[in-house]
């Protein structure tokens, strides 16, 4: 398998399960886990599980999106978790001899629960670390857990992923070369995981608003300075969402999952017909591909 080019950032120091909301709240998912939720999950789990040894694995179903690795108990029991990294929306649990790759899919979440807490419906597998148990919950079963030996970034699911948006490799020059000559609209372009990973629908609308760019504008026609502003906006929006998730995270472990909301203040997303926070013009909504886009017709050109 081919490796990921060195120009792409291979580490990704932030991660949390895809769905902080379900992770944190223990409720049914209201939306798909995005990069900030995955990163917040990573941060929360890494703080509590790094260096801890696995003593038990329980699998309650044979498969999620893909078959669960039947050999997982043999691979990880008595091994310590060295670190948890993130690549895109994948969490990479490093056990030394290999990695457990976890993706939360459409509705997955990871929680730390007490050893004696009985599983709920849709709790598909547990990895026990002494008194704490890492538990995967996924009603729709589009999530994945795979055992990978060798460099996990060479795995087919990861090898073609674009640059990490929060890495130094995501620059205006990188974005410019990725969209050069493209007539596709800028919004679907920044949501294309082959260009940059983890910019979900909400974050794309919010980033374009902050950068003052019309979401319909052909990606290859945007001036350098405006692309540079967009890169900064994407980083800002994702960091703000991670901070918001982090603040809700403090309470989540050790409790029954009750905790604060994963709040991230939207400036345009979901606000069609309400006044733009910058100029007062009514926010508009349109569809691009199959996704709702929100924008200010005056602030975004």
**Residue 43: CB atoms within 10 Å:** 21
Query: Beta partners for 19?
Result: none
Q: Contact between 211 and Zn ion (CB under 5 A)?
A: no
By the 10 Å C-beta count (0-12 exposed, 13-18 middle, 19+ buried), 54 is classed as: buried
Question: Which contiguous run of DSSP H or E holds residue 57?
Answer: strand 56-59
Selected range binding Zn ion among 6-14, 77-85, 140-148, 280-288, rule: CB under 5 A: 280-288
CA 150, CA 108: separation in Å to the nearest integer? 26
Residue nearest to Zn ion (CB): 276
CA 296, CA 269: separation in Å to the nearest integer? 10
Angstrom distances, CA of residue 25 to CA of 76, 247, 276: 28, 13, 31
CA 161, CA 87: separation in Å to the nearest integer? 8
Given 17, 33, 36, 188, which residue is catalytic? 33
CB of 240 to Zn ion, least distance (A): 19
CA 292, CA 158: separation in Å to the nearest integer? 27
Q: Is 218 helix (H, G, I), strand (E, B) or coil?
A: strand
Q: Contact between 145 and Zn ion (CB under 5 A)?
A: no
Structure tokens at 41: 């999950």
CB of 296 to Zn ion, least distance (A): 3
Choice from 46, 84, 104, 296 touching Zn ion (CB under 5 A): 296
Choice from 80, 159, 278, 292 touching Zn ion (CB under 5 A): 278
Q: Contact between 47 and Zn ion (CB under 5 A)?
A: no
Choice from 114, 279, 282, 286 touching Zn ion (CB under 5 A): 279
CB of 300 to Zn ion, least distance (A): 7
Choice from 276, 288, 294, 295 touching Zn ion (CB under 5 A): 276
Q: Contact between 299 and Zn ion (CB under 5 A)?
A: yes
Given 8, 89, 210, 271, which residue is catalytic? 89
Start-to-end Cα distance in the chain = 42
Active site residue 34: yes
| Local structure of residue 80 (DSSP, 8 states) | B
Q: Contact between 110 and Zn ion (CB under 5 A)?
A: no
- Complex with Zn ion: residue 77 or 278, whichever CB lies closer: 278
CB of 268 to Zn ion, least distance (A): 9
Binding site for Zn ion (CB under 5 A): 276, 278-279, 281, 296, 298-299
Residues with a known catalytic role = 33-34, 89, 291
């Amino acid at each position: 398998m081919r490796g990921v080019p060195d120009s792409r950032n291979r580490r990704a120091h932030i991660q949390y399960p895809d769905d902080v909301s379900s992770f944190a709240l223990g409720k049914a998912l209201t939306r798909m886990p995005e990069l900030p939720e995955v990163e917040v999950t990573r941060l929360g789990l890494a703080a509590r599980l790094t260096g801890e040894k696995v003593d038990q694995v329980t699998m309650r179903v044979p498969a999620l999106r893909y078959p669960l690795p039947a050999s997982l108990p043999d691979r990880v029991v008595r091994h310590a978790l060295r670190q948890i990294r993130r690549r895109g929306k994948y969490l990479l649990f490093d056990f030394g001899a290999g990695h457990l790759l976890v993706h939360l899919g459409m509705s997955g979440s990871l929680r730390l629960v007490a050893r004696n807490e009985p599983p709920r419906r849709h709790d598909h597998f547990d990895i026990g670390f002494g008194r704490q148990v890492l538990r995967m919950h996924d009603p729709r079963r589009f999530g994945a857990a795979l055992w990978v030996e060798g460099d996990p970034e060479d795995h087919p699911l990861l090898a073609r992923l674009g640059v990490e948006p929060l890495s130094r490799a995501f620059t205006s020059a990188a974005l410019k070369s990725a969209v050069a000559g493209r007539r596709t609209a800028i919004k679907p372009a920044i949501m294309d995981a082959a260009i940059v990973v983890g910019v979900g629908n909400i974050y794309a609308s919010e980033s374009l608003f902050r950068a003052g760019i019309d979401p319909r504008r052909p990606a290859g026609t945007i001036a350098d300075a405006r692309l540079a502003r967009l890169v900064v906006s994407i980083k800002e929006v994702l960091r703000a969402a991670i901070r918001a998730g982090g603040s809700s995270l403090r309470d989540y472990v050790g409790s029954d999952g009750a905790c604060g909301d994963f709040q991230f203040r939207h400036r345009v997303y979901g606000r069609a017909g309400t006044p733009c926070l910058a100029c007062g013009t009514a926010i508009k909504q349109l569809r691009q591909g199959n996704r709702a886009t929100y924008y200010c017709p005056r602030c975004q050109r």
